[in-house]
């Protein structure tokens, strides 16, 4: 099969899950003998542009003539059987959907987040879930400064999505929506998307192997891990409150993000926290594999969190928020525990429960690894991905 994979990479210092999924899936297809072509852009292009370039790029968020034209040429050269779009915002723009569709090629989109419902992609406002914009009245974003705390940027993004909702771009152009969890499918259906075009497929990751022992920092004998983006939507303030209330538990935290400075200042005052900042992927997973368990206090829906499935691939249990993908992935008393989102007290009680039961940590860890093999392995994902492509070709 000939697959053209399209993706807008996040900024280079971002450890974005959809960037990782794009790389994983294209490599997986190629390893099975499929012909894989890629067409990509990066949000770094905006940062590195001159002022006139930034203005052109901003206008291009509505419709990028450059990427429309270039993708059409790429399709003509590659003659793919399917175009698989991962992320098009902001540089590629929705024009890439039309380029593929007008070339007569089936279009599949993976919905890595809730951007088709909430233009900010997080469905979070003031630290709480917000789905108000499912009604298409996006300009309320300006009042709340939803996009990066800016009324002007919120207006621009709201305008982009209002235009494409009006002309039904995201309703009419994709043939198949790959959704990552049940809640995402339910939200899309309520927003008017065709449920018959939705397919649920989890992400995947390779089974983690620590064959090459990496040089790790000095770590406590026993510890709990948080790793990932340090952002409001990831429940970092819940994590900080939990850490304060459990001084008997050692925490190792890895990651970076907009709350990095705040968390670093916090960790400097806490004797039970070792903050490692951004940590190389394999080293991060090796630290995780040696942990008692991972804490994942996200307050947003997530899609199919790479943190969750990679944690399971290391044979490590989780204590996670009972929301979105984690609601499906974590089974209480089997591979970990679920907590009420944003409820530090609930996290405290579950963390103490598991911290004081090392034998249960080992049992849950074995179960987590079995769960990974059943649902998130490369081979299972390849089978599902090919089925999606075949279905798209019949639409």
What burial class does residue 291 get, using C-beta atoms within 10 Å of its C-beta: 0-12 exposed, 13-18 middle, 19+ buried?
A: buried
Q: Are strands 293-296 and 318-321 parallel, antiparallel or unpaired?
A: parallel
DSSP assignments along 92-143, one per residue? T-THHHHHHHHTT--EEEE--SSTTTSTTSS-EETTEE--GGGGS-TTHHHH
How large a percentage of the chain has pLDDT more than 90?
A: 91
Q: Do 85 and 109 touch, CB atoms closer than 8 A?
A: yes
User: Shortest CA distance to 39 belongs to which of 17, 72, 1?
Assistant: 72
CATH pick for 2-204+378-394 out of 3.40.50.2000, 3.40.190.150, 1.10.150.530, 1.10.1140.10: 3.40.50.2000
Which pLDDT does position 217 carry in this prediction?
80
Biggest CA-to-CA distance, the chain: 62
pLDDT in tens, 126-154: 888 999 999 999 999 999 999 999 999 99
> What phi, psi does 200 have (nearest 5°)?
-90, 125
| 3-class secondary structure, 12 | coil
User: Shortest CA distance to 301 belongs to which of 328, 270, 280, 336?
Assistant: 328
pLDDT in tens, 145-185: 999 999 999 999 999 999 999 999 999 999 999 999 999 99
> Can you tell me the distance from the alpha carbon of 29 to that of 50, in angstroms, rounded to the nearest whole number?
37
What class does CATH assign to 224-375? alpha beta
What single-letter DSSP state applies at residue 113? S
**Bridge partners, residue 129, by sequence:** 124
Q: Do 22 and 53 touch, CB atoms closer than 8 A?
A: no
Q: Do 259 and 266 touch, CB atoms closer than 8 A?
A: no
Question: pLDDT grade, residue 13 (50/70/90)?
Answer: low
Residues 6+ apart with CB under 8 A from 322: 330, 338, 339, 340, 341
Which pLDDT does position 14 carry in this prediction?
62
| 3-class secondary structure, 342 | coil
CATH 3.40.50.2000 spans which residues of the chain?
Answer: 2-204+378-394, 224-375
Which pLDDT does position 216 carry in this prediction?
79
Q: What is the mean pLDDT of residues 100-120?
A: 96
Distances in whole angstroms, Cα of residue 20 to Cα of each of 87, 146, 201, 363: 12, 26, 16, 29
CB atoms within 10 A of CB 392: 22
Tokens of 267: 């960790």
CB atoms within 10 A of CB 349: 14
**Bridge partners, residue 224, by sequence:** 251, 293
> Can you tell me the distance from the alpha carbon of 295 to that of 242, in angstroms, rounded to the nearest whole number?
10
| 3-class secondary structure, 35 | strand
> Number of helices (H) and strands (E), helices first, in the chain?
17, 14
Which pLDDT does position 212 carry in this prediction?
62
């Amino acid at each position: 099969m000939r697959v053209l994979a399209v993706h807008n990479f996040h900024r280079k210092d971002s450890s974005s899950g959809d960037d990782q999924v794009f790389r994983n899936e294209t490599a997986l297809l190629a390893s099975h003998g499929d012909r894989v072509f890629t067409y990509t852009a990066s949000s770094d292009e905006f940062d590195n542009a001159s002022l006139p370039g930034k203005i052109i790029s901003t206008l291009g968020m509505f419709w990028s003539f450059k990427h429309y034209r270039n993708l059409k040429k790429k399709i003509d050269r590659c003659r793919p059987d399917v175009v698989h779009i991962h992320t098009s915002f902001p540089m590629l723009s929705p024009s890439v959907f039309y380029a593929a569709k007008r070339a007569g090629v089936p279009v599949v989109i993976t919905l890595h987040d809730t951007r088709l419902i909430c233009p900010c992609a997080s469905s979070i406002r003031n630290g709480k879930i917000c789905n108000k914009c499912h009604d298409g009245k996006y300009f309320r974003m300006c009042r709340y400064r939803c996009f990066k705390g800016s009324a002007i940027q919120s207006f621009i993004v709201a305008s982009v999505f209002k235009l494409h909702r009006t002309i039904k771009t995201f309703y009419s152009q994709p043939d198949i929506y790959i959704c990552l969890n049940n809640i995402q499918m339910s939200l899309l259906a309520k927003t008017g998307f065709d449920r018959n075009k939705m397919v649920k497929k989890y992400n995947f990751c390779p089974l983690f192997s620590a064959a090459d022992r990496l040089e790790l920092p000095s770590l406590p004998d026993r510890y709990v891990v948080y790793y990932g983006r340090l952002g409001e939507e990831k429940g970092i303030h819940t994590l900080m409150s939990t850490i304060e209330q459990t001084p008997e538990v050692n925490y190792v935290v890895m990651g970076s993000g907009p709350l990095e400075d705040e968390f670093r200042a916090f960790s400097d005052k806490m004797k039970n926290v070792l903050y490692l900042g951004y940590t190389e992927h394999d080293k991060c997973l090796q630290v995780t594999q040696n942990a008692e368990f991972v804490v994942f206090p996200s307050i947003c829906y997530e899609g199919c969190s790479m943190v969750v499935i990679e944690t399971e691939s290391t044979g490590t249990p989780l204590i996670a928020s009972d929301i979105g993908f984690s609601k499906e992935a974590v089974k209480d008393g089997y591979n970990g525990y679920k907590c009420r989102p944003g409820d530090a007290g609930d996290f405290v009680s579950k963390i103490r429960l598991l911290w004081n039961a090392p034998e249960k940590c080992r049992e849950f860890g074995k179960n987590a690894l079995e769960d990974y093999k059943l649902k998130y392995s490369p081979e299972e994902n390849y089978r599902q991905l090919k089925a999606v492509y075949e279905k798209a070709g019949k639409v």
